């Protein structure tokens, strides 16, 4: 009898592992023409906007740790090669992204030129990290993790670190 219970438990182990592994889905996309080998410095162009304000610094710390481990350097003043932005949602949220072209300098400001607006909807628990080429005024890398954030703060830090680690596992793209 005991052997049958152990056998049953062992047979369910792959299913339990598969459910836990699929619970947090990370998707990364990037500009295949971006010169990642030329990037050495980065700067936060917009601090993370998380539903829990205590998570803002945790997101920055986790992303910083991954980028520094890849040989990049954080710049707090002056120009950088790449701009970083991150945000998350514990409920379905919509954001408006506006990009103003035709104006000198960074692309998010008022001025003459063409305005491109896009509406993005993020499902519950989504974390998004974007990297922008500062000189080219374009997004070059995006990491999206679903089922990362919850209403339970004690679980968020562990899930957040795991998600950001997965995002940057094969970074920079080759």
Query: Model confidence over 32-44: pLDDT tens digits?
Result: 999 999 999 999 9
Q: How far apart are CA 98 and CA 69, in angstroms?
A: 32
- In a domain, residue 8? The reply is no
> Above 80 in pLDDT, residue 4?
no
- In a domain, residue 86? The reply is yes
- In a domain, residue 16? The reply is no
- In a domain, residue 41? The reply is yes
pTM of the model: 0.69
Q: How far apart are CA 110 and CA 125, in angstroms?
A: 32
Report the percentage of the chain scoring pLDDT > 90: 47
Neighbouring-strand partners of residue 26: 145
CATH number of domain containing 46:
3.30.160.670
């Amino acid at each position: 009898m005991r052997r049958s219970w152990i056998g049953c438990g062992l047979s369910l182990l792959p299913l339990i592992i598969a459910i836990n592994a699929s619970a947090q889905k990370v998707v990364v996309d990037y500009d295949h023409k971006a010169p990642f080998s030329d990037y050495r410095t980065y700067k936060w162009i917009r601090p993370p906007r998380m539903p829990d304000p205590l998570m803002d610094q945790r997101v920055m710390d986790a992303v910083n740790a991954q980028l520094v481990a890849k040989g990049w350097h954080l710049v707090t003043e002056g120009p950088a090669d790449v701009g970083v932005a991150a945000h998350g949602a514990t409920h379905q949220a919509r954001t408006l992204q506006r990009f103003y072209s035709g104006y000198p300098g960074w692309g998010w400001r008022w001025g003459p030129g063409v305005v491109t607006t896009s509406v993005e909807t993020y499902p519950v628990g989504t974390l998004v990290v974007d990297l922008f080429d500062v000189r080219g005024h374009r997004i070059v890398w995006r990491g999206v993790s679903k089922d990362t954030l919850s209403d339970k703060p004690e679980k968020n830090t562990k899930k957040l670190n795991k998600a950001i680690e997965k995002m940057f596992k094969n970074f920079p793209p080759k």
